[in-house]
Structure 1
């Protein structure tokens, strides 16, 4: 094939692991141009529509491929699941020593049934073509005592919500190669009949409210945005809300884009067979600068995602708390969360918000470890402060990081303005290992009648360690493009035996390091030992030589070293915490990206 006639393929990957896999494979194919973008289901279909005129063939998987087929006129090829991919997941499920089954789109279940027949394994492989089928199927699995589910993206979150362990089926290199070869064959056979269909959007300029109208497929019918630079990002966000907005005549919610909060009201215009949704958009007025210094805003989806990606989401503590919230959605009293450093108090707070009442309104997170004088004055004295509004959820984290004066001042403001009666209040305090309930926690719970929710240290949650490890390894497989089945028995026992002085945050860090180093199907005990050995940077010094860095890093820093060494260590930890994202890390540290780059360069 001549260079100028090279087929242009866009792979729409429904998960991060496939992005990494496709990029690596694309380097080996000089005869074809292969690009990849991340997008699952409706989002993936929207991406395909945007780039329809730029590519000859689209590749995706399961329901995302099905939705793209409906959205574009170009050829769409479903990246099938290989038997090796399924077999790896079955081996991983067996390693959990729990009762397991399979569930997912028909394109996954068909080869799964054939493999089960070849292996002479008698277990259900359940078709879930959409979210409703997935919800019903997962409920039946839970009732029948299944603890682990091999699945694709459709039932994934329902499995997690039900307290079961999901194992996501991910494609291997061979399945990508087969799909690319199919695309090339199609291109060569149909080069003269390829279609070029362009989608035109009508922009009408007028003053007043910003708004966007979408049809039931997510196609743009009408827009009126004063700042056109905001439109693409907000449009992508609103397409994710389209399914919910098509179910009700009107609803109010909010989205976050580029650290700005937008209040949204959607109205359904249901005309015969062509429903439309009008989205009215208004920007929130909290200045961006305060988002850097202790004030964050989350919506329900962000909070739920934050919780689901944490170790604590797979513990009995979280399952019990989630059940209580489902049974008492009409009742909400203040909550005081306590726990040691690294015990994921923030993630627990995100779960309380995401599964409690008031999720149509934002979660304001006030991190007392990061509040500066300017932020403090804004919170207590500005008419745009979240303390002035009603009906929100306000999470005041690391309460005992405040000075005594500010702690008493805050409590006085809450009581005098009846903030705890006008809003849903959540607090958190750090509780030292073996220590009593902090004074601040006692003072606030007594004054406000808040319920105390202690999070036990990881060393007291031994029964959750292995299931949590398997779930987190699956998450890391997706992020790093790995294909690790699980832990060897001695590696699993080492995780159980270790004391975990810095709790879940340290647990996740050790597993992340072990997965990064692992080149075999199973993580060995030696790799776990190596990862734990690296943790001695936090525990090797004597009494009085450890500095807790609250709010930024839920661990401790050795202050017996030079200032340059301490700075380099903090930069490394914050970059790790932000997944290598320099912009986020600089924001968390309160420094410019230039300064961060300089410090990172020093450390290398």
Structure 2
């Protein structure tokens, strides 16, 4: 079986030489492409799809490929023959000559020039970005000829200097293929084991992945790719989920995520746990385990990342003016409170965030020692460019709340607490610790439910109309007065989320320029469902009261779940319990 090899040649001569040598390299199935640093990177995903066993390249291009590809990359080394040929060539130049390159190449040339009794000036660079500065300095000294690699020689032309490329001869190329053969034999031993593990992982419903610090996916089973909607050709996680870079940074800082503390994505589709994998090298590698967010209900704590305004709601609905006619200037730390769906989170995103900040959202469902310690570790490493948005603090014990407040006082990030009830009332009911309350008491903001903001209702309707026109390609210009009147009369039990859903359905079912009364059955149907949901009359629900209290409780939970469309969050909110308690009762 031949070794399928990709040769990435930074210059045309190397591609030509490799093609000539193909006949001698019978053990290899060789594909040659020509491209420099800038041309190679966009093609890496396609390289992985074509089934190559390894890659051979040279210089900076080889270095770049090794950082972004999980395939073995062999660098064609500059040999003594290469140096001797180049020095013989430039020896005849009467014009001043200078070498610009990395130390490993420069040192070999210096040794060769000393043997040949040549005096050539040189500049050692440590990064490709230093080339321009070195060329400018050389030109100012009157240098006419530059010796270097492909990038250096190309740029030298732009400065009006003659470039001499240090080319690779057949000896160097053959040596690289010899090394490739050895690496291939070693890798095949591990490949059998890897295939066995991959086959096992591919059958699992839980998603697994190994990712490096650059976001390159070293391995991902199909369940992971399906949950995160990653194409087979996509090898970098950050391209779709840039905020996961912050997660990997946190893992690298010692945060461990397990079944008690999970990261949930912005859309609430999946939950992640993970940790850093200890490596002997400086390269940081992490494992990630993904599952549907619905299966993470048993976790003590959820957290995630948001950055400024998003497309979930129109910007108008997420601005300070919507919530405060006085346009007060807010100070942090603070607390916001209001009914579910009133817009507490939107208020923070729209009024307190800017493009330079990231919001770390933390939802606390229950208080366990291990998850609480993990939470303290997480907030301790948050910086001044982050806002902590914390809901469910009342689910911590009073002792834990006090320790939480002491830790927050030392944290650089600003904090916003979110509650469903007035924190003053919760303090009186001993649901909130006094020290925690004192932490935010100077700024407490009430987010009124939608039925208390009816004067703003038409403004919200227009904002949603514009948003859904764009989403569905409609050109609806307004809403008929009869429909506006019906919307004003509606109770809006689920606040902004309910208005969003209603307006989306209205737009979807409208084909003319105006939303007309023909859509009102959608609203009336919603009202009837809410009336039905509000009733637990045994005769209407078929509830059997001739059984134990535990069985009656389970039946009631099941009825409420069905009435809420099996939405556990809505059912828990209606029953006055949190999701983790609901999950335990269902499981029990």
- If the TM-score is normalised by the length of the shorter chain, which range does it land in? 0.3 to 0.5
Q: TM-score, normalised by structure 2?
A: 0.42
The structure, 1 or 2, with the larger RCO (C-alpha pairs under 8 Å, 6+ apart) is 1
Q: TM-score, normalised by structure 1?
A: 0.41
Larger Rg: 2
